[in-house]
Amino acid sequence: MASEIVEKAKELFIGETVYVDEVAGSDEAGNGTQSAPFKSALKALEAKGESVKILVKKDEEGFKEISGAALKKAKKTLAEQQRKKQKQEEQKLKQDEELKKKAEEEAKALEYAKSVVLTEDTSLPKAEKIKIKQGVASRGKRVKVSGWVHRLRVQGKDMMFVIIRDGTGFLQCVLTGKLCHTFDAVTLTVESTITVYGVINALPEGKTAPDHHELVVDYWQLVGKAPGGDDAFNNKVTPDAEPSYLLDNRHLVLRGETASAVLKARAEVIKAFRAHYESRGYTEVTPPCMVQTQVEGGSTLFEFNYYGQTAYLTQSSQLYLETCLPSLGDVFCLAESYRAEKSHTRRHLSEYSHLEAEMAFISFDEMLEKLEDLICDVIERVLADEPTRKLIEQLNPDFKPPSRPFMRMKYADAIEYLKANDIKKDDGTFYEFGEDIPEAPERAMTDKINRPIFLTHFPHEIKAFYMQKSPEDRRVTESVDVLMPGVGEIVGGSMRMDNREELLEAYKREGIDPAPYYWYTDQRKYGTSPHGGYGLGVERFLAWLLNRYTVRDCQLYPRFTGRCTP
């Protein structure tokens, strides 16, 4: 009893006894009792105050009172820690005060900005509404231009450089003085829409801006404000974002300089294709996309319910083009084709733009020449147009137009090439005559040869039912794939069977019911002719020309396995 009282008195005088086990204790989980000791004396002081009695266990020997030196060291460290903490707290307080002051100042400035109102100076000449591409021709006159804020640079309180974009180009606008003081000016964000008024002046040598000029703004209006903060455009669309995130946000990605350059180049390339066909006397037709026949095998058909009947999205307009020859002569079309592709590769889409042409009374060699003419002429046309040449240079600075003639290589020789170059199947064996050459070896060969190749004369077993057999070797067809470095196949074409009996045989061989194809078969009944044609995948052509990694970058809103949005 007496000893308990002495202990209690000691505790009151010296403070509580705290246990520290340097081996098995824990500063996080312990509470300083003998059964749950702390790990460090520092923690003991921190938790229980400086007047505690500390018993320390270092080894098997059990708890002993802390040494004077160790206690001094722990107290010193604690004091340092407390000093640091206090300093941090003081700093934080100061920072918070500064932030508060800044926020108050900003709020005041915004309040003031709300009172700044711009009015158009009616003594100035009336501004003429122009698109940015008319800028050079409109220099010196007062103009009015509307667009999206592409980039924004604030220089002090009295100067802002705003680059606007309207789809026809980019224009640097300079805002000074009061023009920078309105609420809309101080809160302006990238992707907001504005209308600016003023005069476009050429820039002196040494200064850079799009078209080497800038619009000196005398009046402007906000049309629609885009969000700032986390939702700001530049926080939403970042180049290092996941591809699927970027595809979900394709509507915003399209505003970027690369994506919009691809789409502009695409429009120009399509224009050039049409101009080529126009100059060579072809007629453009518009075949249906909803069909009840297949062209390129049943396995890639997209099926749908057409008023209770089975119908498909077209794989190719070829069969319809063939029916146009007797009335329109050589024809072409640019239509969407659909493939329920199982292959998830960078060159396969589920919907793609298919440029197809069909020509009557030609030989296979003539068809190859026409194909070569198409590709080379279109490249010449796009390069001859200065803005398009610049777009190609921006996207694919190393592009060199292909030289004629393209290399011609028979399928049988490709099989030998693969063997000679040790290009094998996954199982380590070589490809043999009669086997399909898949994408990987085809690409390996094309990249190695590094020039356009007309790969011809494929065995009929691996090609579509309608292909004409070669008169010299009945095992193979008069068929061609155009292979381009970096992409592989961009065109598939052939001469078509022009003999009715042979075609009926081919339907049978492929297990195709000839009944729904009566209109196609009839071409061989009502005045047959040697004829042939091809289909070019526009996105693959663009991936080659613009050096894009995937065809998905060459479509407005790509459709491929698993993606049908936005």
Site for ligand 4AD contains 282 (CB under 6 A): no
CB nearer to ligand 4AD: pick between 219 and 352: 352
Closest approach of Cβ 531 to ligand 4AD, in Å?
11
Q: How far apart are the first and last CA of the chain?
A: 84
Tell me which of 21, 191, 218, 356 binds ligand 4AD, using CB under 6 A.
356
Tell me which of 214, 218, 268, 296 binds ligand 4AD, using CB under 6 A.
296
Site for ligand 4AD contains 277 (CB under 6 A): no
CB nearer to ligand 4AD: pick between 391 and 484: 484
Q: Give the single-character DSSP code of 70.
A: H
Site for ligand 4AD contains 478 (CB under 6 A): no
Site for ligand 4AD contains 349 (CB under 6 A): yes
Cα–Cα distance between 32 and 56 in angstroms, integer?
11
Which strands make up the sheet holding 351-360, listed edge to edge?
A: 283-284, 331-338, 351-360, 531-537, 488-495, 479-484, 453-456, 407-410
Closest approach of Cβ 465 to ligand 4AD, in Å?
11
Q: Residues 20-59, buried b or exposed e (16+ Cβ, 10 A)? A: bbeeebeeeebebeeeebbbbbbbbbbebeeebbbbbbee
- Single-letter residue type at 397: P
CB 357 within 8 A of CB 368: no
Site for ligand 4AD contains 318 (CB under 6 A): yes
CA distances from residue 311 to 286, 304, 521, 543 in whole angstroms, order as listed: 19, 5, 20, 31
- 10 Å Cβ neighbour count for 376? 18
Cα–Cα distance between 315 and 138 in angstroms, integer?
48
Binding segment toward ligand 4AD, per CB under 6 A, in 240-248, 273-281, 341-349, 455-463: 341-349
Tokens representing residue 484 in the block = 């381009």
3-state secondary structure of 271: helix
Strand partners, 536: 355, 491
Binding segment toward ligand 4AD, per CB under 6 A, in 44-52, 269-277, 386-394, 485-493: 485-493
CB nearer to ligand 4AD: pick between 202 and 449: 449
CB nearer to ligand 4AD: pick between 250 and 339: 339
Binding segment toward ligand 4AD, per CB under 6 A, in 235-243, 418-426, 453-461, 528-536: 528-536
Site for ligand 4AD contains 348 (CB under 6 A): yes
Can you give the three-state secondary structure of 29-46, one letter per residue? CCCCCCCCCECCHHHHHH
Provide the total of helices (H) and of strands (E) in the chain, helices listed first. Answer: 16, 20
Site for ligand 4AD contains 341 (CB under 6 A): yes
Judged by CB under 6 A, how many residues of this single chain contact ligand 4AD? 25
Question: Which residue in 440, 470, 435 sits closest to 456, CA to CA?
Answer: 470
Site for ligand 4AD contains 553 (CB under 6 A): no
Tell me which of 43, 213, 354, 524 binds ligand 4AD, using CB under 6 A.
354
Binding segment toward ligand 4AD, per CB under 6 A, in 91-99, 184-192, 214-222, 344-352: 344-352
Closest approach of Cβ 345 to ligand 4AD, in Å?
9
Site for ligand 4AD contains 169 (CB under 6 A): no
Residues at the interface with ligand 4AD (CB under 6 A)? 295-296, 315-316, 318, 339, 341, 348-349, 352, 354, 356, 489-493, 533-537, 539-540, 551
